[in-house]
Amino acid sequence: MTLWFVLSWSVARTVIVSTAAVMVGQCLLRDIHSVASTRWRRTWLIAALIPLLVPELIVGFNYRLTAQKLTESVWGTELLYATVLLIRSCSVSVLVLLLLPASAVTHESIHSWQLLNQRTNHYRRQYLKLLVTGPWRAPVVAWCLTSLVTFQDFETAALIQVVGHPVVWTVWLFDANAGNQSLNQTLVFIIPPLLMEFIFLIPGLWLIGLDSSSEQRTGSAPRRNTTCSSMWRTISATVLGLCIVAGWPVLISLPELWEGTRTLLQDPAAILRQQATTFGFSATAAAVSLSGAVLLHRSNKTLTTVIFLLPGLAGSLSLSLILMWLFQQPGLQLLWDQWFPMLLGQSLLMLPRAWVLVLVLKSMVTPEGRYSATLLNSGQPWHRQSASRLLWNLESIRWLLAAAVLCHWCTWDVTTASLLRPVTVEPVVTRLYQEMHFSRTESLTALSLVTVAVPWLLFAVMTVIRRAISYGAMLQLRSDETG
């Protein structure tokens, strides 16, 4: 198979999956917005976004056997892969649609333009422009970013691929490099797919650039009354998606959890070492990317932002291969086999996601709430204490949560860790890969559970510590007052 053949196949799949994902995403978001109860609305939104947090490695491994049973059917394998991709892409699409600022083009202006109803070229061009920058804007941007995520998938494809299907350019590229091609030749092969990724991105970047000053977000669109059918549609789609990517893998793994835990406990020091190393790298990369994203948002320069985000948007395989080549050059060879390449790779990979998360954080905090907390902060000690608690609830805990999410994504990225890690570092995810290879599902299940839990557990611990400190300070204040 030539590169052009696999690229064409991958592009066709990407176009179909992304188009479907945006359509489903729009329906889901509309239905979620129509839910009257804030609590239920939030619950469904989180449920719709959960597939983004399910490690691709786990999904790919659990559907490997299903893929094996489909080996006689090319289309069956392709359909399985496309379904798994579609579920993740729907989440991406929901997230983008949720975050995107509403267009400045109102329905009234489009309606007014329609009333003109002229048949000149100028009229048609302007009408099209209004549509693209108006009602089509959010779906087009969502489509661009969803396409990017779909197009650069590697983990799932590599694990699901059994007999040459699904045809995916990332697997082809990896095989070419792992075969007999030099790294330089592989980097030449990367150029067409990278160009393709830019082509996917260009309309989105153009549309975002056109109207970056708008503050209103589609996520805050007015609610409609919920209908029974739309509610059922949302529930069915979300539950089905969750069952496929999370429910089924968990269900078939649970019986082996006890045995796996016993296996892991035979060498707890090794597990602790791997978890500590992995968490150390992931947390640092998360913090670096989050700080970088904050700086990019502060700079407010579109071109700078795009330049910094592009390496991460190129995907983990392309990014890691390029960094690997870079750090094997004479001037930088000293840094090879150090922690820096891996940390840089993970930070760059996470930067676009961190940028999106900062956008989410910005959209969640109301200026009024923050202002009230700031005013309180300048008052009496008791007020300052309340302000501190308020600011924690309004901001700090959300930042920590964002860091935990990034940390989770970083931990589960096999490609960057595998290609850029120093000899002395063994991230837990590479060990998981070994467990997978030997089908040691018991220890794989237990180790996966521990790995999933670590960032969230530390997040919980930090939250509890913060609350304890706050409670201690409050008790101190009370005792001072009574004394």
Q: Which is nearer to other proteins, 132 or 360 (CB)?
A: 360
Shortest Cβ distance from residue 287 to other proteins (Å)? 4
Q: Minimum CB separation from other proteins for residue 124, in Å? A: 42
CB of 13 to other proteins, least distance (A): 19
Minimum distance of other proteins from residue 339's CB (angstroms)? 8
Query: Alpha-carbon distance 55 to 63, whole Å?
Result: 13
User: Which CB atom, from 179 or from 483, has the smaller least distance to other proteins?
Assistant: 179
**At its nearest, how many Å lie between other proteins and the CB of residue 163?**
5
Q: Which two tokens stand for residue 446?
A: 């237990």
CA atoms within 13 A on the CB side of 279: 17
Q: Closer to other proteins at the Cβ: 114 or 393?
A: 393
- CB 153: neighbour CB atoms within 10 A? 28
> In this complex, which beta carbon is closest to other proteins, that of residue 324 or of residue 450?
324
Smallest separation, CB 368 to other proteins (Å): 14
Amino acid at 350: M
317 Cβ contact partners less than 8 Å away, ≥ 6 residues apart = 152, 154, 170, 173, 174, 415
Q: What is the closest distance, in whole angstroms, from the C-beta atom of residue 138 to other proteins in the complex?
A: 23
Nearer to other proteins, 18 or 62 (CB): 62
Instruction: In angstroms, give the least distance from the CB of 337 to other proteins.
Output: 5
Q: What region, left, alpha or beta, does residue 329 occupy, with left being phi > 0 and alpha being psi -120 to 50 degrees? A: beta
The least CB distance from residue 270 to other proteins, in Å, is: 8
Nearer to other proteins, 25 or 101 (CB): 101
Output 121 or 180, the one with its CB closest to other proteins: 180
**Site of tokens 């929901």:** 94
Please report how close the Cβ of residue 71 comes to other proteins at its closest, in angstroms.
Answer: 6
| Minimum CB distance to other proteins smaller for 164 or for 209 | 164
Q: With respect to other proteins, which residue has the nearer C-beta, 437 or 467?
A: 437
Describe the crossing of helices 183-210 and 121-133 by its angle, rounded to 10 degrees. 100
Of 160, 161, 156, 169, the residue nearest 12 (C-alpha) = 169
Of 210 and 473, which has the nearer Cβ to other proteins? 473
Complex with other proteins: residue 131 or 360, whichever CB lies closer: 360
- Computed over its alpha carbons, how large is the radius of gyration of the chain? 24
Q: Sign of dihedral through CA atoms 146, 86, 155, 99?
A: positive
Least distance in angstroms from the C-beta of 425 to other proteins: 8
CA dist., res. 269 & res. 259, Å (int): 18
In terms of CB distance, is 149 or 283 closer to other proteins?
A: 283
We find the least distance from the C-beta atom of residue 166 to other proteins, in angstroms, to be: 12
